[in-house]
Structure 1
Amino acid sequence: MPDITTLDSHRDTVDESAARDAIPGHPLGVKPSGNALFAAENLRSAIGTLGLVPDELILILLEFLDCRSLLQLGQTCKAFAAFTRTEDLWKTLFIRSPPAMFTWRGTWRATYLNLPQSKVASLDCSSLFSDALHRPFYCAHISLEPFASNIPARNQITRLPNLSAEEFQEEWSDTPFILTEPVKEWPVYHQWSVETLLPKHGETLFRAEAVDWPFRTYVDYMKNNSDESPLYLFDKEFVSKMGLKVGPPNEEPGTAYWPPPCFGEDFFSVLGNDRPDRQWLIIGPKRSGSTFHKDPNATSAWNAVIRGSKYWIMFPSSSKLPPPPGVYVSEDQSEVTSPLSIAEWLLGFHAEARRTQGCIEGICAEGEILHVPSGWWHLVVNLEPAIALTQNFIPRAHLTAALDFLSNKADQVSGFRKDVSNPYERFVAKMQASHPESLQSALDELKKKAEGRKRKWDEIVHGKPDTNDANTESGTGGFSFGFGGDDSDAEIP
């Protein structure tokens, strides 16, 4: 009989056993619920009537408790001690009322309570069986490498040394790709690392999701955390905070970096200081990243890796194609639902995603830059601690999409200052003054699309005209909605 590892090596999907190799035991000894079937003892029996409640609901109920109540409940039995140590509970408490001064101590609970490791009680909960408690720990420790390796040739993101603005506009504006050379010309590529940034910016406050931390504190967190979804530094004001100059070196002496020429055209620049947020510094530990999303305001984007490497998996957006596996979108696409963590999505949907039409994936390594076309779904995760820069822009090829979004999805427009009223009208006025021909071409295309949608709706309501149908001349052919007993049809718009 062949060895099972030999059989596994021929599988077309990710080998989950490889992802489990480096997973340590749960710090409290908690095991998956299936182990309870053969257990002689189950600590869950000690929680009384609440034993009838699913673990997931218990955790939801615990979200309503304050710090004192969580501590008191955790002292009643080992089972509740394990439930009340759930990191998300303490992360929520920390974000809701952060301590004025604190030292990161490896976990949200220890940090919030200011407990050094020597003061954290050690408990044996090896007779507690709960997927709700074990799964986040499991997801926080699975190896990412199996998911980012053995990428099918048909899925590989195209890699190019460089592109001119003309080549981008003519052939590549709708396609993801990786450029391997431009970033290596940037001063920040040669100068930046976590270690070199700390002396100058250690006390600078940067935005990391819902908190503003000194960079030194965030680095402590980066180096010592076990979060399923690690906190991601994502700061839009880094240029002013760090005193950087940005722009072509022939125009801006001492510049830190500049967009490659192929990404130089950006029609949102006509808005000047009224444009929406466009550039971010991104820093994060291994496993941090972003779950599936599209970039805001129908913009395109580039993402340049200064240190580390990132795994990307992407899907085109189309009315003819569903969203990525495991992603559910509301009818107006304003709400996106997917697994809460990247690891959970990888475990549940990655193999299916690789077989899905339109899927492309790849690794953007240190010194490389990736293009995200307007409207593309993408998930990205750091394979190692990483520093990156990203910027959103509107190229000529996607001006129509941006105008359509600003005009018809005003409730989803984001990134503008509150005092910038009616971004669509303001953008059109500025484009009319600076690029009237491009604007008119885009508006004409929008008009054609609107007319096409109207014709499609008319065909649904009335049916396609048929010159051989005797009813066509009288207008009674096809399908329509009708109510009442008279001879007229009431059309529903």
Structure 2
Amino acid sequence: MPDITTLPSYPLPQDEDLGVEVIPSHPLGVKPSGNALLATSNLRSAIGTWQLLPDELILMLLECLDGASLLAFGRTCKAFYAFTRAEELWKSLFIRCSPESFTWRGTWRSTYLNLPASKVPVVDCSNLYSDVLYRPFNCAHIVMDPYVTKIPKRNQIPRLPDLSPEEFHEKWADRPFILTEPIKDWPVYKNWTVGHLLSKYGQEKFRAEAVDWVLRTYGDYMADNVDESPLYLFDRNFVSKMGLAVGPPSETPDAAYWPPSCFAEDFFSVLGDERPARRWLIVGPERSGSKFHKDPNATSAWNAVLRGPKYWIMFPSGDKQDPPPGVFVSDDQSEVTSPLSIAEWLLTFHAEARRTAGCMEGICGEGEILHVPSGWWHLVVNLEPSVAITQNFMPRAHLCAALDFLSNKSDQVSGFKKTVQNPYQKFIDGMQDAHPELLQQAQEELQRKAEGKKRKWDDIVHGKAQDAEEQDAGGFSFGFGDDGSDVEVP
């Protein structure tokens, strides 16, 4: 087995005088609501009957307005000007009718209105006290260093130079880990910087959450935004868009990249062109990332970092395992509720999460690749502008879990083309043709688990009563005894 290498450190920029990063003042001077306790005046007093409404409800009502109405509303007083400057309002408007061509101007409001920075008015709202308005700004400027450093030894994700397929299947398929060597031979690792991608593919459109932007525009956004949750480029069609060849070098001489050998086995490949989406190009600025989630269809995944380190925090899942702190899941696990942003989760729940059993943390640096086992919760945040490639796969260790998911959670199956009907049956048919013995083993394992659950339920419902009939005197009984007494049963 390979040796575990030393955990590296990734120092973040600090203020030279204070030794820590300092959150700047809000651009309009808005302050947290607690400051109102000692204030001599409050701009909120000028909004009349609207004072009866909490700030959250005011913003919800403003979401119903179009751009022209927001501008008019914001001209009524300084307080409402501050409310109508909320970036989420303008982001929603812009995405709803995103133009084919535009210039990114640093904020969603300025971009929507096509306002250069010189024409954005500076309004002093320093006597307005609102957590709702201040929190997104604060979250957009939190210092990451306290959350991503001094990881407790028990939490550290193991770091290995490489793994063979046999080592992976025998010992590591259910564990997160970071490999430090395999992707350093990839041509894309040697060549792909943000600048290289912009120069070669700058006019190509890529998917960034709910929008399709040319890469050049997204590059402008990366370099200049103030978002609490920066827009994340996550494109599943990048291989065809960029004309890449993917595969082992021995079979694909001009390959741009290939999965490390320990991740090569992928049983979804039996579906051929009908398999679900599996690989994505990921590009994002500092602070962008993904909130807690599990990968789709009970698959495992690897995430290869080409530029910019990523911080990961992960938790196993299971019938007896609670979701991560601050994450709430419906009974069928189809709906996940968590804080609005990664920064808000870090501020509120990170300390508790670090103390929670099963927590795993690590920083995956440039030229390294991280393994996400099937079913593991994970949150990831970029510590610098980042370029990465990720791919989902189904190894034999999780074949049973995938069959169970496809069969019993069909409403949660994702990534398949709309033309694919009954993915579960198609997968069964494909496995029967290509790997009948493995399919039979997985189905037998599922049957054993189902029978085990049924026995456990029978024990819960009937066990005590059955045991009572077999026990000697003194055992528990629902009867009142044979002495004819009418003593109350507590």
State, as a whole percentage, how many aligned pairs show the same letter: 71
1:151 corresponds in structure 2 to 151
> 1:323 and 1:19 mapped to 2: Cα distance?
35
Q: Letter of the aligned partner of 2:199 in structure 1? A: P
**Would the alpha carbon gap of residues 73 and 454 (structure 1) be closer, same or farther in structure 2, given more than 3 Å must change?**
same
Which residue pairs with 1:322 in the alignment? 322
The one-letter amino acid of 2:245's match is: K
CA deviation profile, 1:419-450 (whole Å, cap 9, x unmatched): 10000000000000000000000000000111
Equivalent residue, structure 1, for 2:40: 40
Aligned residue for 2:168? 168
Q: Which residue of 1 aligns with 2:455?
A: 455
- Paired with 1:295 and 1:264, the residues of 2 have a C-alpha distance of 18
The answer to whether the Cα contact below 8 Å between 1:19 and 1:143 also exists between their aligned partners in 2 is no
Matched, 1:52 2:52: yes
Determine the structure 1 residue equivalent to 2:24: 24
Q: In 2 relative to 1, CA 403–376 (structure 1 residues): closer, same or farther, beyond 3 Å?
A: same
Query: What CA deviation, in whole Å up to 9, does each residue of 1:442-482 have, x standing for no partner?
Result: 0000001111111122223223464552599xxxx89xxxx
Q: Which residue is 1:61 aligned to?
A: 61
Structure 1 residues 275 and 464, CA, compared in 2 at 3 Å: closer, same or farther? farther
**AA in 2 matched with 1:416:** F
Equivalence for 2:238: 238
After TM superposition, the structure 1 = structure 2 runs for residues 398-409 of structure 1, keeping only pairs within 5 Å, are 398-409=398-409
For 2:402, give the aligned amino acid. A
Tell me the SS of whatever aligns to 1:463.
helix
Q: Aligned equivalents of 1:307 and 1:23: distance in 2?
A: 26
For 1:411 and 1:19, the matched residues in 2 are separated by: 51
Corresponding position of 2:115: 115
Unaligned runs of 5+ residues in structure 2 are: 1-17, 479-490
Partner of 1:276: 276
**What are the equivalent positions in structure 2 for 1:68-467 lying under 5 Å apart?**
68-464=68-464, 466-467=466-467
Whole-angstrom distance in 1 between the partners of 2:266 and 2:359: 27
CA distance in 2: counterparts of 1:122 and 1:80, whole angstroms = 14
Counterpart of 1:395, as a letter, is P
Map Cα deviations across residues 33-53 of structure 1 (whole Å, 9 max, x no partner): 000111111001111101110
Asked whether the equivalents of residues 305 and 366 of structure 1 are also in contact (C-alpha less than 8 Å), the reply is yes
Task: Write the deviation string for residues 392-417 of structure 1: whole angstroms up to 9, x where unpaired.
Answer: 00000000000000000000000000
Shift of residue 21, structure 1, vs aligned partner: 3.4
Task: Name the aligned partner's letter for residue 129 of structure 1.
Answer: Y
TM-score by length of 2: 0.92
Q: How far apart, CA to CA, are the structure 1 residues paired with 2:193 and 2:309?
A: 13
Identify which range, 459-468 or 304-313, moves more after superposition: 459-468
| SS of equivalent residue, structure 2 residue 30 | coil
**Letter aligned with residue 260 of structure 2:** P
Question: Structure 1 residues 78 and 209, CA, compared in 2 at 3 Å: closer, same or farther?
Answer: same
SS in 2 for 1:375: coil
SS at structure 2 position matched to 1:461: helix
Q: Is the 8 A contact 1:20 1:142 kept in 2?
A: no
Q: 1:20 to 1:34 in 2, by over 3 A?
A: farther
Verify the 8 A CA contact 1:432 1:439 in the aligned structure 2.
yes
Counterpart CA distance in 2 for 1:253 and 1:330 is 47
- What is the CA-CA distance between 1:333 and the residue it aligns to? 0.3
Contact 1:99 1:112 survives alignment (8 Å): no
The verdict on how the C-alpha distance between 1:163 and 1:470 changes in structure 2, with shifts beyond 3 A counting, is closer
Q: For residues 70 and 466 of structure 1, what CA distance do their matches in structure 2 show? A: 70
* Superimposed CA distance per residue, residues 287-336 of structure 1 (whole angstroms, 9 cap, x where no aligned partner): 00000000000000000000010000000001111100000000000000
> What is the CA-CA distance between 1:101 and the residue it aligns to?
2.3
Structure 1: 5+ residue stretches without partners: 1-17, 479-493
Q: Which amino acid aligns with 2:220?
A: D
State the Cα deviation string for residues 137-179 of structure 1 (Å, max 9, x = none): 0000011121000000000000000000000000000000000
CA distance in 1, matches of 2:455, 2:109: 59
- How far apart are the structure 1 equivalents of 2:285 and 2:245? 26
8 Å CA contact 1:19, 1:144 repeated in 2: no
> What secondary structure sits across from 1:469 in the alignment?
helix
Letter aligned with residue 30 of structure 1: V
Q: Distance in 2 between matches of 1:50 and 1:468?
A: 67
Distance 2:20 2:211 in 1: 32
8 Å Cα contact 1:274-1:416 kept in structure 2:
yes
TM-score normalised by length of structure 1: 0.91
